[in-house]
Amino acid sequence: MSGAVSGLLAPSALLPTGWHPDVEICWGPDGMLESVTPNVPDSPHPTAAGPVIPGMPNLHSHAFQRALLGRVQHPGPGGDFWSWRNEMYSAVQALTPELLYQVSAWTYSLMLAAGYTSVVEFHYVHRLGGASPSRSLEAMMAAARDTGIRQTMAPVLYRFAGSDGTALSERQRAFELDHAEFADLVTQIGEAGTTVAIAPHSLRAVQPDDLHFLVDLVGADTPVHIHVSEQPAEVAEIRKNLGDTPIAWLNREFGLSPRWALVHATQATPAELDLIDDGVATLVLCPTTEHDLGDGRFPIERTPGASWGVGSDSQVSVSPAEELRLLLYGQPAARGKRAVLSSTEHSDGSSLWQRATQGASAVTGSPVGRIAPGHAADLMVLDGARPDFTGLTADHLLSAWVLSGHARQIAEVRVGGDVVAQH
């Protein structure tokens, strides 16, 4: 972690209580924030180049899928999620642990440059090029260590091709683990000092007894990530085989809580939307991927009480600002009105950034997403000197950046106090 530099003076900073001026932000040698003090006009620490905001936790990543970019944007007539999946399977056949490391390190570098400071890696490509699951896992953890992004490793249990217990196809064998192999990966993650989450792939790919095995394997606070309700065909299959829709079934069987990350709740029923609005679990939205794959649009305006964050998922976009932009623009387009997500306290982009960062910590297993003592010094500094930002308050500047900006308008990104990207 940092040596000489142990603090920053922010001309303005987005804290859990909103924007504050002249904020002195100090962290210890462990990279954790020790004090955050507004209204400090003089500080021995360097002055940041613009507003300081929490770095964005990326709640859902398959880093290797960046290698598909440009190769899967030609779906042809009738192309859909399932035809995209076939292309993804073909790419997996060509991967080795070494290639997995290279593409993942590249993707993580892009994430840091764009303002993501941590990532939950939903890791399911276990058997590559004849190598053991341990080798692929090590490649993914090394990619995070070498680039400096904070990683929560979520090994995926993927055992069946359907919720009726259909065996995996030949092309899905790279994803297969048994219970003992899964437990070994969890041990390997702990020994590496990496934060662990568990990830039943979906209710298509595991049976109820697999889910009970996973939940019993780890502590009661360990995050659980699951692809939950991405496709109408998937929801129909779960209803047929388990007797209920996915989110309702999970809540009845396990009792959902904020540590449950519901990835792609796109097809949630009205009753499930009510559960989400009550904050029963954490919603993980991946708007660019969900639009690219034709999944649909999650009706965020229907769940104002939801706790949520974003993920770059298939890496068609690696930019938290672009995820929030699409999330916001989906609402007026669907309803013929502006200001459908407006907050009385902040402007649109600012408000979305605050919501997405603050909703994250329950499903990352580490204290991220807030500039507050006891949280990680994972920070992003916007370049206040850019002409686009002239004359704007910090609140309006962040909105301008979220809605029209790009990575080069970020002055620097820090993880645990260390500078990991600069523009």
Q: Write the interaction track for Zn ion spanning residues 304-343; mark x where CB under 5 A is met and - where it is not.
A: ---------x------------------------------
Exactly one of 60, 126, 201, 264 is catalytic; which is it? Answer: 264
C-alpha 133/C-alpha 146 separation (Å) is: 20
Nearest approach, Cβ of residue 60 and Zn ion (Å): 6
Each residue 264-303 as x (binds Zn ion by CB under 5 A) or -, in order, gives ----------------------------------------
Q: Is-catalytic flag, 264?
A: yes
Determine which one of 292, 313, 348, 383 is catalytic. 313
CB within 8 A of 16, min separation 6: which ones?
358, 370, 371, 372
Chain positions 379 to 408 lying near Zn ion, rule: CB under 5 A, are none
| Closest residue to Zn ion in the complex (CB) | 313
C-alpha 148/C-alpha 119 separation (Å) is 11
Q: Are strands 418-422 and 7-15 parallel, antiparallel or unpaired?
A: unpaired
Residue placing its CB nearer to Zn ion in the complex, 319 or 409: 319
Q: State which residue, 266 or 409, has the beta carbon closest to Zn ion.
A: 266
Instruction: Give whichever of 176 and 313 is closer to Zn ion, judged by the CB atom.
Output: 313
Examine the residue annotation and report whether 227 is marked as an active-site residue of this protein. Answer: no
State in angstroms the smallest separation of the CB of 31 from Zn ion: 28
Minimum distance, C-beta of residue 122 to Zn ion, in the bound complex (Å): 5
Beta carbon nearer to Zn ion, 12 or 314? 314
Closest to Zn ion by CB, 232 or 304? 232
Query: DSSP string covering 115-131, please?
Result: TEEEEEEEE-----TT-
Distance CA 307, CA 305 (A): 7
Residue 364 CB, nearest approach to Zn ion (Å): 16
For 61, the enclosing helix (H) or strand (E) is strand 56-61
Minimum distance from CB of 40 to Zn ion (Å)? 43
End-to-end alpha carbon distance in the chain:
21
Q: What is the dihedral of CA 351, 318, 63, 254, to 10 degrees?
A: 20
Residue 252 to residue 416: CA distance in whole angstroms: 39
CB 99 within 8 A of CB 160: no
Helix, strand or coil, per DSSP, at residue 93: helix
Residues engaged in binding Zn ion (CB under 5 A): 313
The residues carrying an active-site annotation are 264, 313
